[in-house]
Amino acid sequence: MTETSTQPGTAQPAAYTPTDRTVPTRSRERAAYDHEMVHSILDEGYVCHLGFVRDGAPVVLPTLYGRVGERLYLHGSTGSRPLRMADGTDPGLPVCVTVTHVDGLVLARSAFHHSMNYRSVVVHGVARTVTDPDEKRQALDALVDHIVPGRSRDSRPANAKELAATAVIRLDLDEVSAKLRTGGPNDEPEDMDLPHWTGVVPLAKGYDTPVPAADLAPGIGLPDYLTTL
């Protein structure tokens, strides 16, 4: 994922500053604010959940996203309610965006201590509509490359009609936290002799062989970025 450059003479802090909203009330030792950790979790995911308030009620929508440096970009139809609410002429749309990976199923001897190994990121902030044409194109390229790195250079870019029908919102990575669980079950000492299997069932993301479209023109082979995916 493309990183934004910093101004000469400035240094990016190594970690995000914790706030009241990014410090968990439970298992605080699992929280992390390291930039590299947060970015790696975001970059590995495909779907985020966008939460906001509409007509006084909470709404959470799954959607694609892309990261460029310290910004997240989300897109949708110009008629989409949350994207219209984030219009740049207004104060913006207060949102919460989450991304989660499940790495393993943790099976304990007791039902109470069953858990999951996971990595997650929560971002709080105000989303705003991207109006600059160059930034909008960069954001759309980032969304495509987030799915498969290098794909934006191997596909037709959006034309004027498609750009006019597409809205992009930006959320700065400012109020951010990661949370992780690793390791095995945390059984109670008195349960250690119970005759139940206990351990972790790992989950792994994988890719199968790409299937070409039925109307793919002859002679177009599999691109390198797919063979190395």
Is residue 209 assigned to a domain?
A: yes
Query: Which residues have a Cβ under 8 Å from the Cβ of 194 and sit 6 or more positions away?
Result: 109, 110
* Residue 164, Cβ density class (10 Å: 0-12 exposed, 13-18 middle, ≥19 buried): exposed
* Residue 13, Cβ density class (10 Å: 0-12 exposed, 13-18 middle, ≥19 buried): exposed
The total domain count for the chain is: 1
23, pLDDT greater than 80? yes
What count of residues does the chain have? 229
Q: Which CATH number fits the domain that encloses residue 205?
A: 2.30.110.10
Q: What is the pLDDT of residues 88-112, one digit of tens each?
A: 556 789 999 999 999 999 999 999 9
229, pLDDT greater than 90? no
Is residue 138 assigned to a domain?
A: yes
Average pLDDT over residues 38-43: 96
Q: What's the domain range around 106?
A: 28-227
CA distance 73 to 115: 32
Is residue 41 assigned to a domain?
A: yes
Is residue 9 assigned to a domain?
A: no
